[in-house]
Amino acid sequence: MAYIITDTCTKDELCVEACPTDCIHPKKDEEGFEAATQLYVEPEGCIDCGACVPVCPTNSIFIVDEVPADKQEFIAKNAAHYA
């Protein structure tokens, strides 16, 4: 299981600062940040702590089981970022 970031992400990195396992990328100092349309959760690094959810000002983060029907494609997109 993992948490999923969706397309309303503004890349402000508030979730990155809250994440205890550093599993949200790309970060500002990493390759691909400028080109990325959003940030992504690395499924294998996520420990399901939920710390990223309340700090997200755009409500872009969901636990995988609760991703809205119209945002399902982002489950694969988050995983694909790390494939």
Q: Which residues lie near ligand SF4 (CB under 6 A)?
A: 3, 5, 9-15, 18-19, 21, 23-24, 39, 41, 46-52, 55-56, 58, 60-61
Neighbours of 24 (CB within 10 A): 24
Output the smallest distance, CB 69 to ligand SF4, in A.
Answer: 19
Q: Which is nearer to ligand SF4, 31 or 49 (CB)?
A: 49
Least Å from the CB of residue 2 to ligand SF4: 6
Q: How far is the CB of 64 from ligand SF4 (least distance, A)?
A: 10
Using a CB cutoff of 8 Å and minimum separation of 24, what contacts does 73-76 make? 74/4, 74/5, 74/6, 74/7, 75/4
For residue 25, the tally of other CB atoms under 10 A from its CB is: 19
* DSSP label at residue 80: H
